[in-house]
Amino acid sequence: MERREFLKKAGKVAAVAAGVGAGCAKAKEAPKQAVTKTYEWKMVTTWPPNMPVLQTGAERFAKRVEEVTSGRIKIKVFAAGELVPAMGMFDAVSEGSVECGSGAAYYWGGKTPAAQWFTTVPFGLNAQGINAWFYSGGGLELWEETYAPFNLVPRPQGNTGVQMGGWFRKEMNSMEDFKGLKMRIPGLGGKVIAKAGGTVVLLPGGEIFTSLERGVIDATEWVGPMHDLRMGFYKAAKYYYYPGWHEPGTCLEVVFNKTAYDALPRDLQVALDAVAAETNMWSLSEFEAGNGAALQELITQHNVNLVRFPESLLDSLRKMAKETMEEEASKDPVARKVHDAFKKFQEQVGIWGSVSENAYYNVIADKFNLKM
């Protein structure tokens, strides 16, 4: 209630401000002078303060935009809760109380089911695949179409790469082991786990470790080694499972209020787009390098057991994931259209991925003595 009130008020203020802004852009100054108009923007994010790559990536985006525009766009970034709660980002940007936000599209499945395909899909595209879909396969246009009714313009702004499967207090040998398993796993992955007979528990980040340590939950997924190490999960659960079938290439988004974005001169729109793509690239690189270092620390200093999910279990989860995505796709015509396009693109790059990246990884992997 309180949040709604706040957003309403903020929305009104912003509407006025946006009006003023729009007015300025079309003002009676000579057109050639308009290029020097400056924009003071706010960004709200769904990330806790200082969260590596997620929140710091949003801050990096803002900094680079300011640099590349010589200060013509200044973006002040607010972490979750500093201006609006994490899950208030979508509404705040949509209503125009702030001009932009950073988050992940799958948080907004309740607003529009189709949003769920633009972050990551269980057993779907990895980072290289989903970026190819966005930039070279029509995915971004579909995302824009999905967000347009909310007056939002989305851009990919980061990617975690393949995540880890999660921390488990017991070994997972068959689908039976999911029955009654209490696991913290949100989103589509959670829907699959529920289908498998698990009990999905939703917990804020700050409560996960204690819940896992005390056995209130039996398992949790989080991100990957870099973030998981900071959370200390290795002290609370013995088995670190891979691969993260539920989040094989999680895309982080930056969204702009469409009215604000459309009012910008073309060069500033391109600046936002180019810096979003640059941050996307930087972010995946940070994850790759940081996860590599953190995984070594987890193995060598904390004796973590890296375990691959058994094949039969992955097969079953994949069937359930397929059912889940079909159910979500049936929710509305936009979701159906996006689902079909996503599937088609995954088929397009599938065999190619197998003879390129996959075949190559298999060649260089054996020296690490891991059972893939």
Question: Among residue numbers 65 through 94, which ones bind a second copy (CB under 8 A)?
Answer: 67-70
Size of the site for a second copy (CB under 8 A): 81
Token pair 């094949």 is found at 311
Stretch that binds a second copy, among 20-28, 38-46, 273-281, 325-333 (CB under 8 A): 273-281
Q: Does 314 bind a second copy (CB under 8 A)?
A: yes
Q: CB of 96: closest distance to a second copy in angstroms?
A: 25
Q: Does 128 bind a second copy (CB under 8 A)?
A: yes
Q: Does 358 bind a second copy (CB under 8 A)?
A: yes
Q: Does 136 bind a second copy (CB under 8 A)?
A: yes
The number of helix segments (H) and strand segments (E) in the chain equals: 13, 11
Residue 334 CA from chain centroid, whole number: 20
Burial of 337-350, coded b for 16+ CB within 10 Å and e otherwise, reads bbbebbbebbeebe
How many whole angstroms separate alpha carbon 254 and alpha carbon 261? 12
Closest to a second copy by CB, 98 or 264:
264
φ/ψ (deg, to 5) at 308: -85, 135
Site for a second copy in 96-125 (CB under 8 A): 123
Closest to a second copy by CB, 67 or 176:
67
Q: Which of 286, 328, 339, 342 binds a second copy (CB under 8 A)?
A: 286
Q: Does 295 bind a second copy (CB under 8 A)?
A: yes
Cis omega before residue 333 (within 30°)? no
Q: Does 308 bind a second copy (CB under 8 A)?
A: yes
Q: CB of 305: closest distance to a second copy in angstroms?
A: 12
Token pair 């917990």 is found at 203
Q: Which of 289, 326, 332, 340 binds a second copy (CB under 8 A)?
A: 289
List the one residue out of 153, 139, 105 whose CA is nearest residue 262.
Answer: 153
Closest to a second copy by CB, 119 or 280:
280
Q: Does 127 bind a second copy (CB under 8 A)?
A: yes
Q: Does 166 bind a second copy (CB under 8 A)?
A: no
- End-to-end, the C-alpha distance of the chain in Å comes to 49
Q: CB of 316: closest distance to a second copy in angstroms?
A: 12
Closest to a second copy by CB, 205 or 243:
243
List the one residue out of 275, 255, 264 whose CA is nearest residue 60.
Answer: 275
Closest to a second copy by CB, 255 or 298:
298
Site for a second copy in 206-265 (CB under 8 A): 224-225, 242-245, 248, 265
Closest to a second copy by CB, 212 or 284:
284
- SS3 state at 127: helix
List the one residue out of 233, 196, 229 whose CA is nearest residue 218.
Answer: 233
- Would you report the helix, strand and coil content of the chain in percent, each value rounded to 5? 60, 15, 30
Q: Does 285 bind a second copy (CB under 8 A)?
A: yes
Residue pair 130/250 in contact (Cβ under 8 Å)? The answer is no
Q: Does 174 bind a second copy (CB under 8 A)?
A: no
How many whole angstroms separate alpha carbon 345 and alpha carbon 114? 16
Q: Which of 22, 81, 278, 334 binds a second copy (CB under 8 A)?
A: 278
